[in-house]
Amino acid sequence: SIAYLNGQLLPIEEAKVPALDRGFLFGDGVYEVIPVYAGRLFRFKQHIARLENSLQGIRLPMEQTLQDWANICHQLIEQNSLNNASIYLQITRGAYPERNHDFPANPSPTIFAMITALPEVQAVPSDRDLQGISVITAEDIRWQRCDIKAITLLANCMLKQQALECGANDTILVRGGVAFEATSSNLFIVRDGVIITPPLSEHLLPGITRDFLLWLAEQHGILTEQRLIPEHELLQADEIWLTSSTKEIRPVTRLNDVTIGNGTAGPVWRQMYDHYQQLKVQLYRG
């Protein structure tokens, strides 16, 4: 595929970054993942607003406007002729002659972007969707600024790997007995028809899909609540979902080897699935 690196479009295999880049040496950078449906950027303003918050969070000033970021993304969509895709956009603090923790006085950031295909709109959920996924819970060993979408994902990788080695698909992260999110998605539960998700804090990423689902639920008169979810409450939930831009809404049907609900995707999930897909179809119709 064709990628973008510092102003150039080139085959991804040829996109090379110096070993002295602070992204490589320190994990000093931030990123975004932006979905594309019907060749159009989905929730683009929200993704770029979060990117700007992440950049501010690591104190890396950038001059790019919304239009500049859109141009990079549109070039990738066109060059790779993709209609349904996700764009990965990463910015690091750049490469300097020496490895030095101090921030450079005049940073020259590295901007990299690539695109990968996403599946077509599915009007009806697949058997795999309905079956849901299996998760474990584990103590959140990440840092105290999980609201920044930093590229420093070692803890997330370790926590995800822990799930795979337990024969599960993902890990719900718990701090002091409270569940916040999963390794690359936000957490929702459903109780008595109410959709519940933890409030925004430094312990979770302000998910664009999280925000979108809260809005979508409101549009359809489904009650929502933002409050802390104690770990023990997960087992009492009628439904558990994990959400992200690429996974959309993923039902969780097993938690630490205990069945959630009746072991398949629940009715509120199904409703929200339909609303989500309908919205995507509308994008195709223009």
The half-sphere exposure of 137 on its side-chain side, counting CA atoms within 13 A, is 21
Alpha carbon distance 32, 73 (integer Å): 11
Among 92, 169, 184, 197, binds ligand PLP (CB under 6 A): 184
Residue closest to 273 by CA, chosen among 130, 118, 133: 130
Cβ closest to ligand PLP, residue 132 vs residue 207: 207
245 binds ligand PLP (CB under 6 A): yes
The partner residues of 230 in beta bridges, in order of sequence, read: 178
Minimum distance between the CB of residue 253 and ligand PLP, rounded to whole angstroms?
A: 20
Cβ closest to ligand PLP, residue 93 vs residue 210: 210
Residue type, 130: L
Phi and psi, residue 84, nearest 5°:
-115, 115
Alpha carbon distance 47, 211 (integer Å): 11
209 binds ligand PLP (CB under 6 A): yes
Minimum distance between the CB of residue 170 and ligand PLP, rounded to whole angstroms?
A: 11
158 binds ligand PLP (CB under 6 A): no
33 binds ligand PLP (CB under 6 A): yes
Among 90, 185, 197, 253, binds ligand PLP (CB under 6 A): 185
244 binds ligand PLP (CB under 6 A): yes
Among 23, 207, 251, 266, binds ligand PLP (CB under 6 A): 207
54 binds ligand PLP (CB under 6 A): no
Alpha carbon distance 286, 283 (integer Å): 5
Residue type, 119: P
Tell me if residue 152 falls in helix, strand or coil. coil
Cβ closest to ligand PLP, residue 4 vs residue 212: 212
Residues in the chain: 286
- Choose the binding region for ligand PLP from 21-29, 129-137, 189-197, 240-248 (rule: CB under 6 A): 240-248
Cβ closest to ligand PLP, residue 22 vs residue 47: 47
205 binds ligand PLP (CB under 6 A): yes
Residue type, 164: L
29 binds ligand PLP (CB under 6 A): no
User: In the chain, which ranges are E strands?
Assistant: 2-5, 8-11, 29-37, 40-41, 85-92, 110-117, 133-139, 170-175, 178-182, 186-191, 194-197, 224-226, 229-230, 239-244, 248-255, 258-259
Known catalytic residues?
149
- Choose the binding region for ligand PLP from 67-75, 117-125, 183-191, 222-230 (rule: CB under 6 A): 183-191
For binding to ligand PLP (CB under 6 A), which residues are involved?
A: 33, 181, 184-186, 205, 207-210, 243-245
